[in-house]
Chains A and B, each alone.
Chain A
Amino acid sequence: MAEMAVPRLTRLLGIVTHLEEHGEATFDELAQHFGVTAETIKRDIDTLWCAGLPGYGMTDLLDFDGFAYDDGIARLTNSQGVRQVRLAPAEAMALMGALAAMIASGTAPEAATGALAALSAAVTDANPVTVIRAAPVNPGVVEALRAGIEQKRAVAVTYVDAQDRRTSRVIEPHRLVTVDGLGYVECYCRRAGDYRTLRLDRIEVAGRTDDSATALPRAASGFTLEPAYSATVRVARAGRWAFEDLPGAVLAVDGDDVVATFGVANPDVVVARLLAVAPSLGSVEPASLRERLGEAARAVLAAG
């Protein structure tokens, strides 16, 4: 499929601006800078070379040095005044919102604040997006984890999991990730003997160790929790909120009910949601999930 016009146009303007500001560059260098292949850059140069002012005579067109082009070098000799354009409101919102979400989640290094300030300065309209911190993260914890990642050392942490169990573990941190506005650390957990993704706001304490990391980071990005099975829940409309943000959730409206189908990665998380909307529930499938729900409900009643 041919590339869409708008992203390509944005890169065409970018290439001209970049060459104007920084002089000639090889196709490979431009490819790396703009995150595309050298073949794409070559096609872009071909397109730019044919563009220009109405009339489209020799002096009306954007121009490149033909000998340099044959050597795989873009040397711009006439830009016809073409410049990159400022951020559109939706573009500013999308990038600033993402950056602010990373900062709020606690994963972004200090330099992110500078990047956000530089972006704000380049935007004429007021920034249309506000980001609210969802869960406070202890900056000392993040600092210790980041040091562990950079020095390839194990870090000792105290972690409170989603079922409120507190554990002390030694982890080998690999990467900080922001998923849906929350901060996590991808790590190898020596206690579990496996790779884990831990929520930063649930790490109470993190301290350095002198132990070198032994496990390599996983090649694939590890922060998509693999659903073990699929569940289907019928719930009155008032209860739909409990399911709409579960991973892979598909919601279908059926009369006054909503039928939600979603992947169950962690049954305890799903059971907590089911309890929260229990009076609105119509049905729960499969039976194994119903059993977990029943056990939890009995435990609550026994305690109360």
Chain B
Amino acid sequence: MPASDAAERLLNLIIALSHARGRMTRAEIRATVSGYDAERGGDTAERARRRTSAFERMFERDKEDLRRIGIPLKTVVDATHGDDIGYVIDAGEASMPPIDMTPVERAILAVAAEYWQNAALGMDARRAFVKISSSMPRAEEVPLHLAARSTEGSDAAPAIAQAIADGQAVAFTYTSAASGRGERTVEPWRLVVRGGRLYLLGRDRDRGEARTYRLSRIEGAIRPVGERAAFEPPDEVEVLALEGEVPTLVARVGLRAESGHALRRRASFVSTAGEWDVFDVPFSDTEALRDEILSLGGAARVLEPEDLATAVRTHAEAALAIAGAEGGGRG
């Protein structure tokens, strides 16, 4: 069945369930909503069974599509109808509230909607933009001289956003530098964007602790686990671990003239020694400062502390060994 018919069927389902007095059972939906394959007389038992299971699959997919665009079907069990489940849509609750936005603000949103190159996030962002645009008046295009792109993005992000809203735990396969590849079960709290990178902050159920996960290291699908509304995230989620700590250490570093500007800007000048300008650089992360010194390719030298100087030397020597190796490296 072409997908264009799916949009029409979903629209008919929304209209039917928004107007239904009380609720509609699956059987009622199948019999009356246009686009579903209603039961017919004259089918063999086998054929009827096949068509019923095709309807069930289609209806499950439609429920999932409606949930994805923000219309959760509510289930109502009516005692007088046995255990038959019925469905309703609360049209008032589902509808878009009024948006107060200027044409310039909408034009900026249009740029933001094109940010994610990732297919799943891109589709979500563009749908959000169409929804925001719906009730806004038409206006001339506003030239902004502005663009935005993100090459990172993760198919996991939309499912995690949904799970955060639902208060539902998720399970996924994750690879970390520290502990290798394994299964994680996490109560998701927040998504964090830093630079181009996406992170999930949440509580790891097996470790019983708050953890940070980089979304690009998640393999495969996000699987919802257990009930919705199963946990409450803390009021104040600590994102400090990602922001970098407050510098508490000081390194003494020599910089050649007209170099190391980024370091100079956050350091204090000590003296000039020969061709070197000597600075004190506050830092918290030895590895980050080591990498910065390495990237200066000889325009910087570490005077103190010794462990930083050793780390820089060790890395340069290792690099030299690889660079000089026959055939490009170790066996």
Contact = CB atoms under 8 A, between A and B. Distances in A.
Nearest to A178: B148
A31 B34 CA distance: 27
A129 B124 contact: no
A241 B177 contact: yes
> Interface size class for chain A?
35 or more
B317 A301 contact: yes
Given A47-B4, A177-B146, A14 B134 contact: yes
Contacts of B193: 97, 100-101, 129-132, 181
B11 A98 contact: no
A250 interface: no
B145 A175 contact: yes
A109 B65 CA distance: 35
A128 B164 contact: yes
A140 to B, nearest CB: 15
B85 interface: no
B319 A278 contact: yes
Nearest to B302: A304
Most buried by B among A11, A95, A295: A95
A193 interface: no
Interface in A271-304: 271-272, 274-276, 278-279, 281-285, 287, 290-291, 293-304
Contacts of B162: 88-90
A111 B108 contact: yes
Contacts of B301: 303-304
Interface of A is mostly: helix
Interface string A35-67: 100000001000110111111100000000000
Interface string B132-165: 1111011001001111111110000111011011
A180 interface: yes
A108 B250 CA distance: 35
A111 B70 CA distance: 27
Interface stretch (A1-9, A68-76, A208-216): A1-9
A22 B139 CA distance: 12
Contacts of B197: 180-181, 245
Interface stretch (B44-52, B76-84, B91-99, B203-211): B91-99
Interface string B102-142: 10111011011101100001111111111111110110010
A169 B11 CA distance: 57
Interface residues of B, number: 129
A132 B239 contact: yes
B165 A290 contact: no
A153 interface: no
A228 interface: no
B10 interface: yes
Interface stretch (B15-23, B223-231, B278-286): B15-23
A274 B11 CA distance: 54
A132 B325 CA distance: 41
Contact of A279 (B147, B315, B328): B315
Contact of B262 (A33, A101, A160, A180): A160
Interface string B308-326: 0100111111111011110
Interface of B is mostly: helix
Most buried by A among B68, B126, B161, B162: B161
B329 A282 contact: yes
Contacts of A295: 297
B232 to A, nearest CB: 11
Interface in B26-56: 32-34
Interface string A76-108: 000011111111111111110111111000011
B190 A128 contact: yes
Contacts of A48: 11
Contacts of A115: 101, 105-106, 108-109
Nearest to A236: B177
Given A281-B318, A291-B323, A301-B317, A81 B19 contact: yes
A9 B11 contact: yes
A109 B102 CA distance: 13
Contact of A51 (B3, B11, B122): B11
Interface string A3-23: 111111111111101100110
Contact of A164 (B68, B259, B328): B259
A194 interface: no
Contacts of B144: 109
Given A4-B123, A276-B294, 5 more contacts: A12-B11, A18-B134, A130-B192, A131-B194, A178-B115
12 contacts: A43-B4, A54-B32, A56-B34, A93-B191, A94-B124, A95-B113, A98-B150, A114-B105, A122-B99, A160-B261, A276-B294, A283-B330
Interface of B: 2-4, 6-8, 10-12, 14-16, 18-19, 32-34, 65, 67-71, 91, 94-97, 99-102, 104-106, 108-109, 111-113, 115-116, 121-135, 137-138, 141, 144-152, 157-159, 161-162, 164-166, 175, 177, 180, 190-197, 216, 237, 239, 242-243, 254, 258-262, 290-291, 293-302, 309, 312-320, 322-325, 327-330
